[in-house]
Structure 1
Amino acid sequence: MHATPPPAVVPIAPPTTSVAMLVAMAANDPVVEQRRKLAAEADRGLSLLERLQRDLATGEPTPERLEEMAAWVEGFTPPDDPALGPVAREIELRVRVELAKHDLRA
Protein backbone atom coordinates (compact mmCIF):
# COMPACT_ATOMS: atom_id res chain seq x y z
CA MET A 1 0.00 0.00 0.00
CA HIS A 2 1.22 3.44 -0.89
CA ALA A 3 0.92 6.14 1.60
CA THR A 4 -0.56 9.26 0.10
CA PRO A 5 1.56 12.30 0.74
CA PRO A 6 -0.04 14.99 2.83
CA PRO A 7 -1.51 17.88 0.88
CA ALA A 8 0.92 20.66 0.16
CA VAL A 9 0.56 23.66 2.38
CA VAL A 10 0.14 26.78 0.32
CA PRO A 11 0.63 29.97 2.23
CA ILE A 12 -2.19 32.44 1.88
CA ALA A 13 -0.90 35.76 0.67
CA PRO A 14 -2.37 38.88 2.18
CA PRO A 15 -4.82 40.58 -0.15
CA THR A 16 -3.22 43.14 -2.38
CA THR A 17 -4.48 46.69 -2.41
CA SER A 18 -6.03 47.52 -5.73
CA VAL A 19 -5.95 50.90 -7.38
CA ALA A 20 -9.74 50.96 -7.31
CA MET A 21 -9.69 50.41 -3.56
CA LEU A 22 -7.18 53.26 -3.09
CA VAL A 23 -9.33 55.56 -5.20
CA ALA A 24 -12.41 54.59 -3.20
CA MET A 25 -10.56 55.22 0.06
CA ALA A 26 -9.40 58.63 -1.16
CA ALA A 27 -12.92 59.51 -2.26
CA ASN A 28 -14.20 58.69 1.21
CA ASP A 29 -11.49 60.74 2.91
CA PRO A 30 -13.21 63.99 3.93
CA VAL A 31 -9.95 65.97 3.80
CA VAL A 32 -9.22 64.86 0.24
CA GLU A 33 -12.80 65.50 -0.80
CA GLN A 34 -12.77 68.98 0.79
CA ARG A 35 -9.52 69.89 -1.00
CA ARG A 36 -10.99 68.65 -4.28
CA LYS A 37 -14.04 70.88 -3.83
CA LEU A 38 -11.92 73.90 -2.90
CA ALA A 39 -9.70 73.38 -5.93
CA ALA A 40 -12.73 73.00 -8.19
CA GLU A 41 -14.21 76.28 -6.93
CA ALA A 42 -10.92 78.13 -7.48
CA ASP A 43 -10.71 76.56 -10.93
CA ARG A 44 -14.17 77.93 -11.69
CA GLY A 45 -12.88 81.45 -11.01
CA LEU A 46 -9.93 80.83 -13.28
CA SER A 47 -12.27 79.58 -16.02
CA LEU A 48 -14.31 82.77 -15.69
CA LEU A 49 -11.15 84.82 -16.19
CA GLU A 50 -10.24 82.80 -19.27
CA ARG A 51 -13.69 83.32 -20.77
CA LEU A 52 -13.45 87.04 -20.04
CA GLN A 53 -10.11 87.13 -21.84
CA ARG A 54 -11.70 85.50 -24.90
CA ASP A 55 -14.57 88.00 -24.76
CA LEU A 56 -12.13 90.91 -24.61
CA ALA A 57 -10.14 89.54 -27.54
CA THR A 58 -13.25 89.67 -29.72
CA GLY A 59 -14.82 92.84 -28.32
CA GLU A 60 -16.51 93.54 -25.03
CA PRO A 61 -17.61 91.08 -22.35
CA THR A 62 -21.30 90.41 -22.10
CA PRO A 63 -23.18 91.71 -19.08
CA GLU A 64 -24.00 88.08 -18.27
CA ARG A 65 -20.29 87.22 -18.10
CA LEU A 66 -19.62 90.09 -15.71
CA GLU A 67 -22.64 89.15 -13.60
CA GLU A 68 -21.41 85.56 -13.44
CA MET A 69 -18.01 86.76 -12.27
CA ALA A 70 -19.57 89.05 -9.66
CA ALA A 71 -21.74 86.22 -8.36
CA TRP A 72 -18.71 83.92 -8.15
CA VAL A 73 -16.63 86.42 -6.20
CA GLU A 74 -19.51 87.22 -3.83
CA GLY A 75 -19.97 83.56 -2.96
CA PHE A 76 -16.29 82.66 -2.89
CA THR A 77 -14.51 82.07 0.40
CA PRO A 78 -10.77 81.55 0.07
CA PRO A 79 -9.70 78.31 1.73
CA ASP A 80 -7.45 78.16 4.78
CA ASP A 81 -5.51 75.37 3.11
CA PRO A 82 -1.83 76.38 2.98
CA ALA A 83 -1.37 75.03 -0.54
CA LEU A 84 -4.64 76.19 -2.11
CA GLY A 85 -5.29 79.39 -0.13
CA PRO A 86 -2.70 81.69 -1.72
CA VAL A 87 -3.56 80.60 -5.26
CA ALA A 88 -7.29 80.95 -4.62
CA ARG A 89 -6.82 84.45 -3.16
CA GLU A 90 -4.82 85.47 -6.26
CA ILE A 91 -7.64 84.26 -8.51
CA GLU A 92 -10.21 86.09 -6.41
CA LEU A 93 -8.15 89.30 -6.53
CA ARG A 94 -7.79 89.06 -10.31
CA VAL A 95 -11.56 88.61 -10.72
CA ARG A 96 -12.15 91.66 -8.50
CA VAL A 97 -9.65 93.72 -10.55
CA GLU A 98 -11.37 92.77 -13.80
CA LEU A 99 -14.77 93.67 -12.37
CA ALA A 100 -13.40 97.03 -11.19
CA LYS A 101 -12.11 97.73 -14.71
CA HIS A 102 -15.74 97.47 -15.84
CA ASP A 103 -16.99 99.64 -12.95
CA LEU A 104 -18.51 96.73 -11.07
CA ARG A 105 -18.00 95.92 -7.42
CA ALA A 106 -18.44 92.56 -5.84
Structure 2
Amino acid sequence: MIIVAGWLAVAPEDRAAYLDSCAEAVRLAREAPGCLEYALGADLLDPGRITVYERWESDADLERFRGSGPSGEQAARILDASVARYRISAVEAP
Protein backbone atom coordinates (compact mmCIF):
# COMPACT_ATOMS: atom_id res chain seq x y z
CA MET A 1 0.00 0.00 0.00
CA ILE A 2 1.16 3.53 -0.80
CA ILE A 3 0.26 6.64 1.20
CA VAL A 4 0.92 10.14 -0.09
CA ALA A 5 0.58 12.70 2.68
CA GLY A 6 1.64 16.20 3.57
CA TRP A 7 0.57 19.79 3.07
CA LEU A 8 0.46 22.61 0.54
CA ALA A 9 0.66 26.31 1.35
CA VAL A 10 -1.35 28.81 -0.68
CA ALA A 11 -2.32 32.43 -0.05
CA PRO A 12 -5.01 32.39 2.66
CA GLU A 13 -7.38 34.42 0.48
CA ASP A 14 -6.91 31.88 -2.35
CA ARG A 15 -7.39 28.64 -0.39
CA ALA A 16 -11.13 28.19 -1.01
CA ALA A 17 -10.75 28.85 -4.74
CA TYR A 18 -7.74 26.51 -4.94
CA LEU A 19 -9.68 23.70 -3.28
CA ASP A 20 -12.67 24.33 -5.56
CA SER A 21 -10.36 24.01 -8.56
CA CYS A 22 -9.26 20.57 -7.28
CA ALA A 23 -12.75 19.07 -6.94
CA GLU A 24 -12.71 17.37 -10.35
CA ALA A 25 -9.25 15.87 -9.74
CA VAL A 26 -10.45 14.48 -6.40
CA ARG A 27 -13.51 12.94 -8.06
CA LEU A 28 -11.40 11.39 -10.82
CA ALA A 29 -8.85 10.04 -8.34
CA ARG A 30 -11.53 8.40 -6.23
CA GLU A 31 -12.86 6.66 -9.35
CA ALA A 32 -9.38 5.53 -10.49
CA PRO A 33 -8.39 1.87 -10.20
CA GLY A 34 -6.42 1.25 -7.03
CA CYS A 35 -7.43 4.46 -5.24
CA LEU A 36 -8.47 3.67 -1.68
CA GLU A 37 -8.70 7.29 -0.45
CA TYR A 38 -8.01 10.74 -1.88
CA ALA A 39 -8.61 13.92 0.07
CA LEU A 40 -7.55 17.54 0.11
CA GLY A 41 -8.79 19.66 2.98
CA ALA A 42 -8.53 23.04 4.62
CA ASP A 43 -6.39 23.06 7.77
CA LEU A 44 -8.43 24.08 10.83
CA LEU A 45 -5.75 26.40 12.25
CA ASP A 46 -3.69 27.75 9.35
CA PRO A 47 -5.76 29.67 6.76
CA GLY A 48 -3.21 29.09 3.98
CA ARG A 49 -2.59 25.39 4.52
CA ILE A 50 -4.17 22.45 2.67
CA THR A 51 -3.77 18.90 3.96
CA VAL A 52 -3.04 16.20 1.38
CA TYR A 53 -3.91 12.53 1.97
CA GLU A 54 -3.98 9.74 -0.61
CA ARG A 55 -4.00 5.96 -0.20
CA TRP A 56 -3.31 3.66 -3.15
CA GLU A 57 -3.09 -0.10 -3.59
CA SER A 58 0.22 0.13 -5.51
CA ASP A 59 2.83 2.39 -7.09
CA ALA A 60 1.50 1.39 -10.50
CA ASP A 61 -2.01 2.57 -9.60
CA LEU A 62 -0.68 5.88 -8.29
CA GLU A 63 1.55 6.48 -11.33
CA ARG A 64 -1.23 5.58 -13.75
CA PHE A 65 -3.44 8.24 -12.22
CA ARG A 66 -0.83 10.85 -11.37
CA GLY A 67 0.22 11.83 -14.87
CA SER A 68 1.94 15.19 -14.78
CA GLY A 69 0.58 16.46 -11.45
CA PRO A 70 -1.18 19.77 -10.89
CA SER A 71 -1.88 22.05 -13.82
CA GLY A 72 0.53 24.93 -14.42
CA GLU A 73 -2.05 27.34 -13.02
CA GLN A 74 -2.52 25.28 -9.85
CA ALA A 75 1.23 24.77 -9.38
CA ALA A 76 1.82 28.53 -9.65
CA ARG A 77 -0.59 29.09 -6.74
CA ILE A 78 1.35 26.77 -4.40
CA LEU A 79 3.71 28.86 -2.27
CA ASP A 80 5.33 25.95 -0.42
CA ALA A 81 4.75 22.23 0.01
CA SER A 82 5.84 19.18 1.94
CA VAL A 83 4.37 15.98 0.50
CA ALA A 84 5.94 12.51 0.66
CA ARG A 85 5.19 8.97 -0.51
CA TYR A 86 5.18 6.23 2.13
CA ARG A 87 5.34 2.49 1.47
CA ILE A 88 3.28 0.62 4.03
CA SER A 89 4.17 -3.00 4.84
CA ALA A 90 1.40 -3.74 7.35
CA VAL A 91 -1.96 -2.37 8.43
CA GLU A 92 -3.35 -2.78 11.94
CA ALA A 93 -6.29 -1.47 13.91
CA PRO A 94 -5.44 1.64 15.97
- Structure with larger RCO (C-alpha < 8 A, sep 6+): 2
TM-score (norm 1): 0.24
TM-score (norm 2): 0.25
Q: Counting helix residues as a fraction of each chain, which structure ranks higher?
A: 1
Computing the radius of gyration from Cα coordinates, the structure with the larger value is 1
Q: Counting strand residues as a fraction of each chain, which structure ranks higher?
A: 2
